[in-house]
Amino acid sequence: MAYRLWAGSYDAENPLTTLDGRAAALLTPSLPGKRLLDAACGTARRLVFSDAPPARVIGIDLVLEMLRKGRADRARPRATAAGDLRALPVRPKVFDVVWCRLAAGHVTDLDLLYREIGRALAPGGAAIVTDFHPDAVRAGHKRVFRDAEGRPHVVEHVLHEPEAHESAAGEAGLRLDRRLDLPIDASLRSFWERAEAMDRYEREKGLFLLLAFRFRG
């Protein structure tokens, strides 16, 4: 799995993760006093809160190398565990907020993913799901990273249309509350500048890169 090789450099930001953070900030309800599950937490880098943290935080990820990298950082929560998105190792109806960020594309069957998100979510809770935008995939964009030796790797990704997310969520008893389609814009320009790829930036500006949803239980 590519993520095993990615663990060492996973915390570095890129245009997609930057938009993911923006979407999560817009869609996530106030977290103090809430119970938060990050399904596919990676290194748990998203689970560090400078102030007013949630009452309870749990991160689940399938890749042991990611979890080990996160646990080596004492600032990150210890409450992480290995688990599959399609069979989350959590009790039902426990979490006020469930994140599943940039992981839906690693699941072929969205019905299984949303069934588990719906099972974990407490009544009235909010599920925030983000994905690599299908417009970007169709335009030839790929999720690429470099390992510790600097070798590039492409992360396999399953294209899911927005309607497929909404249908699977509905089947799991979740109600669509808000959707975001976030494009490549001027706030991301510096990534292309550092790569000396401004011609490509001008061509790609305005292309939707991130798809994000908030569903309610």
151 or 45: which leads in pLDDT: 45
Pure H helices in the chain: 2-6, 15-27, 64-71, 110-120, 134-138, 162-171, 189-194, 198-204
pLDDT of 1 above 90: no
Residue 117 · residue 172 · CB < 8 Å: yes
3-state secondary structure of 135: helix
| Rounded-to-integer distance, Cα 16 and Cα 28, Å | 18
What per-residue confidence (pLDDT) applies to 80?
95
CA atoms within 13 A on the CB side of 4: 2
9 pLDDT band, cuts 50/70/90, is confident
143 pLDDT band, cuts 50/70/90, is confident
| Rounded-to-integer distance, Cα 29 and Cα 40, Å | 19
Q: What is the mean pLDDT of residues 138-142?
A: 94
Residue 67 · residue 61 · CB < 8 Å: yes
14 pLDDT band, cuts 50/70/90, is very high
What per-residue confidence (pLDDT) applies to 174?
98
Q: What is the mean pLDDT of residues 1-12?
A: 79
pTM over 0.85: yes
What per-residue confidence (pLDDT) applies to 119?
98
pLDDT of 170 above 70: yes
51 pLDDT band, cuts 50/70/90, is confident
Angle at 90 between CA 9 and CA 3, to 5 degrees: 20
Angle at 155 between CA 80 and CA 178, to 5 degrees: 65
Bridge partners of 57, per DSSP, are 36
Q: Please state which of the ranges 45-49, 60-64, 73-77 shows the lowest mean pLDDT.
A: 73-77
- How large a percentage of the chain has pLDDT more than 70? 100
Q: What pLDDT, in 10s, does the model give residues 72-86?
A: 888 887 799 999 999
Q: What pLDDT, in 10s, does the model give residues 17-38?
A: 999 999 999 999 999 999 999 9
DSSP E strand stretches across 31-142: 35-39, 56-61, 80-82, 95-101, 121-132
Q: Which residues contact 107 (CB under 8 A, 6 or more apart)?
A: 85, 86, 113, 158
What per-residue confidence (pLDDT) applies to 213?
98
Q: What pLDDT, in 10s, does the model give residues 88-113?
A: 999 999 999 999 999 999 999 999 99
| Rounded-to-integer distance, Cα 19 and Cα 25, Å | 10
| Rounded-to-integer distance, Cα 128 and Cα 27, Å | 7
Place of tokens 């996160």: 70
